[in-house]
């Protein structure tokens, strides 16, 4: 799995873009929030019966030998999903609408799914007992601090932080699936998480478009990004 140290470079891009934005866009925040609220939903959030069905299906899959790469990936992705949830909850306090209200519910389900896998393989949960915004992984801790600071600039910067988080989740999940994951249950969960992150990326880019901002991918190849948001 690629380490998130390169995120600091991408955060600089977000901050610069946010600073250069016209103040006019920020002045229209209230009206556009109403529009975004009306147009944004969270199709990746499962109801209780759907979530129960997912876990039932997982129980039917074998517990296979765990590779070192799969072990490390589970630990990292458990906290990476927590980072997404915690960042969105933080930003919701500043910008209480649309994706920042809805998507954290889905991120919690992502966390729960990875935690289920940790339990299956008797792996200690790195997120256990951690407060919101607190992480075992020092890189993720630094990243959370940078993301929340950058996203606090204005609503556009916050939405770009959301899109960047989802881009990175997609990259990391796809990397794990392509290179490290062999076990059926892990593959099943990661593919579900990948679909959810693609939905979230579409939501953030759609709301940015409501603000007159066409999001440019920072991490994903442009054609891959366009394929995702065109669905």
Q: What is the pLDDT of residues 156-205, one digit of tens each?
A: 999 999 999 999 999 999 999 999 999 999 999 999 999 999 999 999 99
> Is 1 a residue whose pLDDT tops 90?
no
Q: What is the pLDDT of residues 88-105, one digit of tens each?
A: 999 999 999 889 999 999
What's the pLDDT score for residue 116?
A: 95
> Is 58 a residue whose pLDDT tops 90?
no
Distance CA 35, CA 118 (A): 40
Give the CATH superfamily of 4-229. Ferritin, core subunit, four-helix bundle (1.20.1260.10)
> Is 35 a residue whose pLDDT tops 90?
no
Overall average pLDDT of the 10-37 stretch: 45
Instruction: Please state whether the predicted TM-score (pTM) of the whole model is above 0.85.
Output: no
> Is 40 a residue whose pLDDT tops 90?
no
The domain ranges of the chain are 4-229
Longest CA–CA span in the chain (Å) reads 56
What's the pLDDT score for residue 98?
A: 83
207, 128 Cβ separation under 8 angstroms: no
Specify the DSSP class assigned to residue 54. H
> Is 6 a residue whose pLDDT tops 70?
no
Contacts of range 66-73, beta carbons closer than 8 Å, 24 or more positions apart: 66/121, 66/183, 67/180, 67/182, 69/1, 69/179, 69/180, 70/180, 70/181, 70/182, 70/183, 70/186, 71/121, 71/123, 72/1, 73/1, 73/176, 73/180, 73/181, 73/186
Match 């939405």 to its residue by tokens.
159
């Amino acid at each position: 799995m690629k380490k998130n140290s390169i995120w600091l470079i991408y955060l600089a891009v977000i901050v610069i873009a946010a600073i250069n934005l016209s103040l006019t866009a920020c002045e229209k925040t209230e009206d556009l929030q109403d529009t975004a609220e009306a147009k944004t939903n969270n199709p990746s959030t499962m109801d209780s019966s759907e979530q129960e069905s997912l876990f039932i299906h997982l129980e039917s899959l074998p517990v296979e030998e765990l590779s070192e790469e799969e072990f490390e990936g589970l630990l990292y992705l458990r906290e990476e999903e927590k980072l997404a949830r915690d960042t969105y909850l933080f930003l919701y306090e500043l910008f209480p609408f649309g994706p920042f209200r809805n998507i954290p519910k889905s991120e919690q389900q992502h966390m729960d799914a990875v935690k289920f896998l940790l339990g299956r393989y008797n792996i200690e949960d790195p997120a256990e007992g951690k407060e919101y915004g607190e992480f075992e992984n020092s890189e993720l801790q630094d990243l959370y601090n940078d993301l929340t600071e950058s996203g606090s600039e204005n609503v556009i910067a916050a939405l770009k932080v959301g899109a960047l988080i989802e881009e990175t989740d997609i990259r990391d999940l796809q990397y794990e699936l392509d290179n490290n994951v062999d076990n059926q249950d892990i593959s099943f969960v990661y593919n579900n998480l990948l679909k959810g992150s693609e939905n979230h990326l579409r939501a953030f880019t759609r709301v940015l478009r409501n603000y007159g901002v066409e999001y440019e991918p920072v991490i994903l190849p442009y054609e891959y990004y366009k394929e995702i948001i065109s669905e």
